[in-house]
Amino acid sequence: MPKKILLDIDPGVVDALAFCVAMFDSAVDVVAVTSVGGNVPAPVAARNLQALIEFIDPPRFPRIGMGTAADIDLPIDFRNLYGESGLGGVLLPVAELRMQHPAEKVICDTIRSDPENVMIVCLGPLTNIARAFIRDPALPNFVRHIYISGGAVSARGNITPCAEFNIYADPIAAKTVLDAPCTKTIVPLDVTYHLVLTLDDVDKLAGTDNPAGQLYRGMLLPVFRAYRQHYGIEGIYVHDLITYMTATRPEYIETEEIPCDIETSGTITRGVTVFDRRDKPEWKNNIEVVTTLNDAELIIPNIINLLNSTAEKISKNNH
């Protein structure tokens, strides 16, 4: 039976691809999707989510919630990598909704309507989830599981020397979620750094004669150029896509329960995930950490297959 998931994303190219995969993935039933500011500001993320849904036109629309800006300033965004639109320069047409449902309300309503059956997959900062938990303090008791794309155990950071972006973007929200009494798994940079999307992988995607193939390439190719220019890398890290795959296919992962806390206010340590790995930890275990990817060489090919399956279904819809 497909897993019921609520997808919280900040599209952004990689999150947009994860959304495309999820909406036609037979392994899941996407009951709700919420946008959150992160890779792009919250209004851009909200617009991109609505535009992607209109483009994909899935057979069954999930509940949609739009996030607003975090209460904490975000001193950086990634439009230098992902373009002003956040989608690599692709600008999808959209009839913007006048009435937008707040993300935290959609999260609360979705979990409350089907308690203990909905898994939350968080691919951006944790602003929306924290706000939902503050709005409804008992809500964590009814969440089946939360998967979080973020953090670093011993890997280098990807936004500061030691902090990962999703946690850094709203560390107070991340700590709120970390402290909540529900089952949580974090997928850190330590494992997601090992997989990179290459131009050879893009060549295996649907071609430009397919509407989704046009979208994939239109989003990805400018990001390859930006990664080469800014990082000197011939490829793209796809941390959030890997998190989606491991959350929906747990056979890919090995986990270990490790006590964790988050630095919320340090000048050079904002957003650092601190794990108590002493021989005799003094902190209580509060999160499962993905430590190993099983059959890692299959994850990117399976992502390509899922994207192509989505492209085929979108093409049929357009005809």
Cα–Cα dist 91/95, whole Å: 13
Cα–Cα dist 183/171, whole Å: 19
Tokens of 120: 């939350």
Cα–Cα dist 269/58, whole Å: 42
- In sequence order, which residues have a C-beta less than 8 Å from that of residue 267 and are 6 or more positions away? none
pLDDT value of residue 89:
79
- In sequence order, which residues have a C-beta less than 8 Å from that of residue 248 and are 6 or more positions away? 3, 5, 22, 25, 27, 28, 121
> Does the reported pTM lie above 0.85?
yes
Q: What angle do CA 43, 88, 316 make, to 5 degrees?
A: 95
pLDDT greater than 90 at residue 131? yes
pLDDT digits (tens, 9 = 90+) for 251-269: 999 999 999 999 998 889 9
pLDDT value of residue 96:
66
Q: Read off the pLDDT band of 94 (50, 70, 90).
A: confident
Please identify which residue in the block is written with the tokens 């990634």.
78
Element at 300 (helix H, strand E): helix 299-318
pLDDT digits (tens, 9 = 90+) for 8-19: 999 999 999 999
Task: Give the rounded percent of residues in the chain with a pLDDT score beyond 90.
Answer: 84
Q: What is the mean pLDDT of the chain?
A: 93
- Residues 107/66, Cβ–Cβ less than 8 Å: no
**What is the mean pLDDT of the segment spanning 213-220?**
96
**What is the mean pLDDT of the segment spanning 311-315?**
89
Task: Give the rounded percent of residues in the chain with a pLDDT score beyond 70.
Answer: 97
pLDDT value of residue 163:
96
How crowded is residue 154: how many other Cβ atoms within 10 Å of its Cβ? 10
Q: Where are the beta strands (DSSP E) in 47-153?
A: 63-66, 118-122, 145-149
pLDDT value of residue 74:
73
pLDDT digits (tens, 9 = 90+) for 24-35: 999 999 999 999
pLDDT value of residue 230:
87
How crowded is residue 319: how many other Cβ atoms within 10 Å of its Cβ? 4
Residue 122's alpha-carbon distances to 8, 37, 214, 270, 274, in angstroms, are 5, 12, 27, 20, 20
For every residue of 194-211, DSSP letters joined together read T-EE-HHHHHTS--TTSH
pLDDT digits (tens, 9 = 90+) for 42-79: 999 999 999 999 999 888 899 999 999 999 877 666 66
Cα–Cα dist 243/126, whole Å: 14
Class of the 3-318 domain? alpha beta
pLDDT greater than 80 at residue 86? yes
Choose among 47, 2, 44: nearest CA to 23.
2
Residue 80's alpha-carbon distances to 51, 89, 109, 298, 307, in angstroms, are 21, 11, 36, 30, 25
- Residues 240/297, Cβ–Cβ less than 8 Å: no
**Any idea which residues carry the catalytic annotation?**
239
Ranges of each domain in the chain: 3-318
Q: Read off the pLDDT band of 318 (50, 70, 90).
A: low
pLDDT digits (tens, 9 = 90+) for 284-308: 999 999 999 999 999 999 999 999 9
What backbone phi and psi angles, to 5 degrees, belong to 270? -55, 130
**What is the mean pLDDT of the segment spanning 110-124?**
98
pLDDT value of residue 133:
98
Antiparallel, parallel or unpaired: β 273-275 and 260-262 = antiparallel
DSSP state of 272: -
211-231 helix and 299-318 helix, angle to the nearest 10 degrees: 140
How crowded is residue 95: how many other Cβ atoms within 10 Å of its Cβ? 8
Please identify which residue in the block is written with the tokens 């913007």.
96
